[in-house]
Amino acid sequence: MVEEKPDHPSRRSFLNTLLGISVLGWMGSVLFPIVEYFKIPPRKDDEPTSVVAASLKTLKPNQGVIFKFGSTPGILIMSPDGQLRAFSAVCTHLDCTVKYRPDLQKIHCACHGGMYDLNGQNISGPPPRPLTPYKVVQRGDDVIVSKA
Amino acid sequence: MKRTLMDRVLDWLRPRLPVDAAIEFAEHKSVPAYKGSVWYYFGGVSLFLFIVQVTTGILLIMYYQPGLQTAYESVRFTVVHVRFGWLVRSIHTWSANLMIFAVFVHMFSVFFTRAFRRPRELTWFSGLVLLALCLGFGFSGYLLPWNTLAFFATKVGTAIVATTPFIGKGVMEILRGGKDVGAETLTRFFGLHVAIMPALFTVILTVHLTLVQIQGMHEPHEWASAPESEKRRMPFFPNFILRDLLLWLIVLNVLAILAVMFPWEIGHKADPSAAAPLGIKPEWYFLFMYQALKFFPGKILGLDGDAVGVVLFAIGGLLWALVPIWDVRLPEGARNRVVTYVGLVVVLAIIVLTGIGLS
């Protein structure tokens, strides 16, 4: 048996390092596809840029309506003075869907009592941010909402 | 000597678990080293492929949506749009097939080496239940992508069940969740495939592996009369386990090559109102039974031919399972050849019938 110099790495430790590196490489090649697999690919039909939210024939002042904007809900409101406003209906607190309360003339979230004014500003309760505003356009009787 | 991290972990565990007894057990665990040792690896390979199935299965559930309008579409989405989705599905399918193959090899090696003999009858029985569950996994998983082949294979497979006298029709309707294969069948098979059978499998696999640990590896029967000096054994730790792990690595690489070079097609979406296309066949591991049933005439002595076939298969399966009971031990030196002949006939029949079925 050849005597090893103590300051030189032995053949065994060299092989162990090599083995360790290949195990790491192997683990990487198994884990990489798994991590990538969890990245949810975008679904094209999920994200329309604009939708017809409501018809002026049915929407009256001091009234709100929830509409589907792709996979998430939006809210369209006609204020008591007849102005149209649209926001994302997803509460900025914990993702519940908000609704318009004609009695309060506010947007209210029933889950934790969050309140937004008619400009979508968070005015009381837990919501940390205003609701995301959308652009509103009238075309004939149709109210068209698009992402700003 | 410096205390390693391992020593510290063991020191912490020692007052809490029987660590020393476990180490003692592991040090004495050994595997007979003889010309038949290669067969010992197939149980381990089956176990490894089961682990692959659980892992890839969990990944597939992340995107799978059962239902007539969503099952096929979600599988296609996984394969086409999800990163490495094609690889995960392909490995799941290939691994399923290889697992069934490994399990069959494992069973026949146990049969021919007579490893089912006392005291290992319970290991044999639990292994057969695991095999039955594997076939159930294959049958139920086949339907989940809801493609044409799967749809008709499931119709035929469940219709064969229905020919069983007395209970067949009832069992078929429970399986289908109605008179025909439809949305209820899909949800039932999904539940069976991802919840009920995995739960059962895990429990019985634990029993099976515990029995193997309690009884130790089966030794070749020539050893009974051989002097101790002629018996060579290999320590399980680390010699056998390292060979096991190396084989697992090779199997994984083979799986990766198969999955990449020969990805499984997803076929066309099932249309329940369309006529069955040509070439409807069950998976290869059901083919020998399917082919055998074709040889039975419509009527045998006034009885339904398929029913006779199913009953004969059931009796055959039962006799096969009961081999530890009908296999009689002959006096030392004289080998009981009956088991070997029965095994050879069964293997030959399966190979020939599968060959006819494939061609």
Contact between B59 and A41 using a beta-carbon 8 Å cutoff: no
Tell me which residue has tokens 């990766």: B256
The residue of chain B nearest to residue A37, with distances taken between CA atoms, is B83
> Residues of B with CB below 8 A from A16's CB?
none
Average pLDDT over residues B268-285: 88
Q: Give yes or no for residue B251 having a pLDDT over 90.
A: yes
Whether A45 and chain B come into contact, CB under 8 Å, resolves to no
What is residue B334's predicted lDDT score, i.e. its pLDDT?
Answer: 61
**Torsions phi, psi of B253, nearest 5?**
-65, -40
Tell me which residue has tokens 């949800």: B187
What is residue B298's predicted lDDT score, i.e. its pLDDT?
Answer: 84
Region of B203 please: left (phi>0), alpha (psi -120 to 50) or beta. alpha
Contact between A37 and B81 using a beta-carbon 8 Å cutoff: no
Whether A39 and chain B come into contact, CB under 8 Å, resolves to yes
B299-300 and B303-304 as β-strands: parallel, antiparallel, unpaired?
A: antiparallel
Whether B84 and chain A come into contact, CB under 8 Å, resolves to yes
pLDDT tens digit sequence for B74-111: 999 999 999 999 999 999 999 999 999 999 999 999 99
Contact between B83 and A26 using a beta-carbon 8 Å cutoff: no
> Residues of A with CB below 8 A from B85's CB?
37
Q: Give yes or no for residue B20 having a pLDDT over 80.
A: yes
Whether A36 and chain B come into contact, CB under 8 Å, resolves to yes
> Residues of B with CB below 8 A from A40's CB?
82
Interface test with A, best of B84, B257, B260 (most A CBs within 10 A): B84
Q: Give yes or no for residue B173 having a pLDDT over 90.
A: yes
Q: How far is B84 from chain A (nearest CA, A)?
A: 6
Contact A59, A102 (CB under 8 A): no
**Range of weakest confidence among B177-186, B243-252, B330-339:** B330-339
pTM, two decimals, is: 0.89
Contact B37, B31 (CB under 8 A): yes
Size of interface A-B (CB pairs under 8 A): 24
Average pLDDT over residues B188-196: 97
Q: How far is B88 from chain A (nearest CA, A)?
A: 9
With a pLDDT cut of 70, the percent of chain B lying above it is 98
Closest CA to B204 of B322, B31, B42, B50: B50
Q: What is the H or E stretch that residue B349 is in?
A: helix B338-358
Q: Give yes or no for residue A1 having a pLDDT over 70.
A: no
Q: Give yes or no for residue B330 having a pLDDT over 70.
A: no
Type of residue at B105 = V
B294 is written with which tokens?
């074709």
Type of residue at B247 = L
What is residue B225's predicted lDDT score, i.e. its pLDDT?
Answer: 82
Tell me which residue has tokens 């290939």: B94
Contact between A34 and B81 using a beta-carbon 8 Å cutoff: no
- C-alpha to C-alpha distance for B202 and B67, rounded to whole angstroms: 27
Q: What is the H or E stretch that residue A133 is in?
A: strand A133-139
The residue of chain A nearest to residue B85, with distances taken between CA atoms, is A37
- C-alpha to C-alpha distance for A109 and A73, rounded to whole angstroms: 13
Nearest to B81 among A26, A33, A41 (CB): A41
Whether B88 and chain A come into contact, CB under 8 Å, resolves to yes
The more confident residue out of B318 and A71 is: B318
Whether B81 and chain A come into contact, CB under 8 Å, resolves to yes
Q: Is residue B188 helix, strand or coil?
A: helix
Closest CA to A70 of A139, A140, A134: A134
The interface predicted TM-score (ipTM) is 0.85
A106-109 and B30-32 as β-strands: parallel, antiparallel, unpaired?
A: unpaired
Whether A37 and chain B come into contact, CB under 8 Å, resolves to yes
B245-261 in b/e form (b: 16+ CB < 10 A) is eeebeebbeebbebbee
Contact between A33 and B62 using a beta-carbon 8 Å cutoff: no
- C-alpha to C-alpha distance for A139 and B340, rounded to whole angstroms: 85
